[in-house]
Amino acid sequence: RADTGFLMEVCVDSVESAVNAERGGAGRLELCSSLLEGGLTPSLGLLQVVKQYVKIPVYVMIRPRGGDFLYSDQEVEVMKKDIELMKIHGASGLVLGALTEDGRVDAELCMELLAAARPLPVTFHRAFDMVHDPMIALETLVSLGFQRVLTSGCDSSALEGLPLIKRLIDQAKGRISIMPGGGITERNLQRILEGSGAQEFHCSGRSSKDSAMKFRNTCVTMGASFSAPEYGLKVADVSKIRTLNAIAKNTL
């Protein structure tokens, strides 16, 4: 990658977004459902169809529900089963994370999940941004054998968390990849790449798209009242992703 510059990972929750991300120059996909909840485990159907449409690596999110990263024994059973199934159906890698109640990386559980995932590479997701001590957490992830960690620098966005992201990259010394993500846009990408020293980054590059529905029942919502608009879609936008890619290519 030294010669090709930065690797762009795009999170997607539809086949259309996956295709657009690849066309825009993404080097890797993070496949989820429900990006509005920060990304949950996608269906096997989605993985299989996405694999038919794209050639770039597809890392699959293993996250059984929204909310915190403290999992019950039954949720762990679901995660292990999902890992097994995603491996069988062609996932290139997996994305997961778990914490203890006091905000440390749950090393014991992560060890079990990593064992189930082998030989696939595994990214520790933004559960990292909820830890009590990021420097200690980073050492735990290195010793467990995670390939990378996705982080906003434990702040509201990767731009806000830039000072910590830089410290993490300096501490990692190449033992684990630190991938900035969270609110990355064409307006801040160059600052994040130049200010952090990261070699890869994570974005969604989405734009809103109106539903094609002509008949609309506006009285009904499918989820909680604060959920997404029923007649709005968000899709990875080829031109946004191309722009991000071009910025990365022009960053030294």
Rounded Cα distance, 234 and 17, in Å: 9
Contact 42, 33 (CB under 8 A): yes
Collect the ranges in the chain with pLDDT lower than 70.
1-4, 225-226
pLDDT tens-place string over residues 192-236: 999 999 999 999 999 999 999 999 998 888 887 667 788 888 999
In this prediction, residue 194 carries a pLDDT of 96
In this prediction, residue 228 carries a pLDDT of 77
In this prediction, residue 87 carries a pLDDT of 98
In this prediction, residue 34 carries a pLDDT of 92
In this prediction, residue 2 carries a pLDDT of 41
In this prediction, residue 3 carries a pLDDT of 46
Q: What angle do CA 189, 194, 197 make, to 5 degrees?
A: 110
In this prediction, residue 222 carries a pLDDT of 85
In this prediction, residue 71 carries a pLDDT of 97
Number of H helices, E strands in the chain: 8, 10
- What crossing angle do the helices spanning 44-53 and 73-88 adopt, rounded to 10°? 30
Contact 24, 245 (CB under 8 A): yes
CATH of 7-251, one of 3.40.80.10, 3.90.550.10, 2.40.160.20, 3.20.20.380: 3.20.20.380
Q: Which residues pair with 58 in a beta bridge?
A: 29
In this prediction, residue 225 carries a pLDDT of 64
- At which residue do the structure tokens 């999170």 appear? 11
Q: Determine the distance from the C-alpha atom of residue 110 to the mean position of all C-alpha atoms in its chain, rounded to a whole number.
A: 17
Rounded Cα distance, 168 and 151, in Å: 10
Q: In degrees to the nearest 10, what's the CA dihedral of 5, 170, 165, 26?
A: 20
Q: Quick check: helix, strand or coil at residue 124?
A: strand
**Tokens matching residue 40:** 């949950």
pTM: 0.95
**Tokens matching residue 194:** 């130049």
Q: Is 1 exposed, middle or buried (0-12, 13-18, 19+ CB in 10 A)?
A: exposed
Percentage helix, strand, coil for the chain under 3-state DSSP, each rounded to 5 = 40, 20, 40
